[in-house]
Amino acid sequence: RAEPLILGIESSCDETGVGIVRGGTLLSNTVASSMDEHVRFGGVIPEIASRAHLEAIVPALDAALKEAGVTLDELDGIAVTAGPGLAGALMVGVSAAKALAVATGKPLFAINHLVAHVAVGLLAEQVFADGLPENLGALLVSGGHTEVLRVRGIQDVQMLGSTIDDAAGEAYDKTARLLGLGYPGGPVIDRLSREGDPKAIRFPRGLTQPKYMGTADEPGPHRYDWSFSGLKAAVARCVEQFEARGEEPPVADIAASFQEAVVDVVTAKAMLACKEHGITELLLGGGVAANARLRELTARRCASAGITLHVPPISLCTDNGAMVAALASRLVMDGAEPSSLDFAPDSSLP
Ligand code: KG4
Ligand code: ZN
């Protein structure tokens, strides 16, 4: 079909998302978050997330259909995140999607959450209708993932580099907790950093030593990989040193310096991977793509490297249903077969 009408469901973490797209056009994108219920625990509690998805899924479906002005009958397909994510949370979305597919007789598409983050970056851009750009790459930075990808086709994605420990968003969340800033940490550190000096403290950039980097001809074992556990430990040590001296830690300076270390190493390694793999167009996605400094530095470094950057609006960077629908729409346009009704969600889908 030229412009398939697809409903997408996302429930891999704490957001219950339902989005509807027609071809490359976004019609609606309803997101209900259970974040408020996790705040007092300082992290997403899977059992609470699953229960919240159960409560939110039907209202979200109704709202998305209403906003798009379409009925279930008109849909060409139903898509759902099959993984990776929290098993119980995924199960709610997958069960809802299967129920809808059985009830309506519409084809069902099991979607990889990470590839959906890539696909949504192209939504509403002409490239979506025309097919993917030839030398496309993606930089995904979220609470669960930090990866640089070579995207040859929407079903042909190669991982060039990734974090070997915490994801960048996770590092933000853990550092914010350490600084007593609450949860989720990303938005707070982003805001607070504007009042701090990013050069106040020189925090380590993980895996940048020559033994990890190697050279372009002889790459080291972690040339395009990241590690944020050393950075987190360095922030903890820094806070301890101030406290040991009986001084109040300069929280804004620490936040800004931490953020600079993350954003610097994330963008530097992504640029290197792009350069050495002939990537000339880069998509930025994932929840941390909402970060002002990450957007700014990625834009600046892409511009000086001659790379065209695609950055979706923030509402499409964080988890949502439209990204799932967008990927399925692309798959249907490419003639992909639907999934069988008996697929199981896979919390560690590669
Ligand atoms: O993609 P996402 O919504 O969920 C997954 O992890 O899949 O990303 C959530 C992550 C959290 O770790 C949150 O702290 C981080 O994205 N985040 C940010 C910002 N907004 C959200 N990190 C840095 N700066 C932000 N403005
Ligand atoms: Zn995500």
pLDDT of residue 24: 86
Mutation test residue for ligand 1: of 141, 172, 323, the one with most atoms within 8 Å of CB? 172
**Could you say which ligand is closest to the alpha carbon of residue 111?**
2
Nearby residues of 262 by Cβ (< 8 Å), 6 or more positions away = 168, 171, 172, 228, 231, 294
- Taking 50 as the pLDDT cut, the residues of the chain under it are none
Q: Which CATH number applies to 135-311: 3.30.420.40, 3.40.50.720, 3.90.1200.10, 2.60.120.10? A: 3.30.420.40
117 is in an annotated binding site: yes
Expressed in angstroms and rounded, the spacing between residue 288 Cα and the centre of ligand 2 is 10
pLDDT of residue 128: 62
Distance (angstroms) between ligand 2 centre and the Cα of 149 equals: 15
Give residue 79's pLDDT.
98
Is the ipTM of this structure higher than 0.95? yes
Ligand 1 pocket at CB < 6 A: 13, 142-144, 169-170, 172-173, 184-187, 190, 286-288, 290-291, 318-319
pLDDT attached to residue 144: 85
Output the pLDDT for position 180: 93
Question: 249 CB contacts (<8 Å, ≥6 apart)?
Answer: 179, 238, 239, 242, 243
Q: Is 291 annotated as a binding residue?
A: yes
The predicted pLDDT at position 303 comes to 98
Separation of alpha carbons 11 and 33, rounded Å: 10
Give residue 101 CA to ligand 1 midpoint distance, Å.
31
> Which bound ligand lies closest to the C-alpha atom of 174?
1
Is 140 within any annotated ligand binding site? yes
Compute the radius of gyration of the chain from its Cα atoms. Answer: 21
> What residue spans define the domains of the chain?
5-123+317-333, 135-311
Strands 77-83 and 25-33, by their bridges, are unpaired
Contact predicate 140/286, CB 8 Å: yes
Q: Does domain 5-123+317-333 have CATH number 3.30.420.40?
A: yes
Residue 113 Cα: closest atom of ligand 1: 7
**Same CATH topology for 5-123+317-333 and 135-311?**
yes
Distance between CA 16 and CA 32 in Å, rounded? Answer: 5
pTM for this model (two decimals)? 0.91
The phi-psi region of residue 9 (left if phi > 0; otherwise alpha if psi is between -120 and 50; otherwise beta) is beta
pLDDT of residue 43: 84
Give the whole-angstrom CA distance, residue 206 versus residue 228.
Answer: 6
Given the CA of residue 169, which atom of ligand 1 is nearest to it? 12
Q: Establish whether 190 is an annotated binding residue.
A: yes
Q: Rounded distance, CA 178 to CA 254, Å?
A: 11
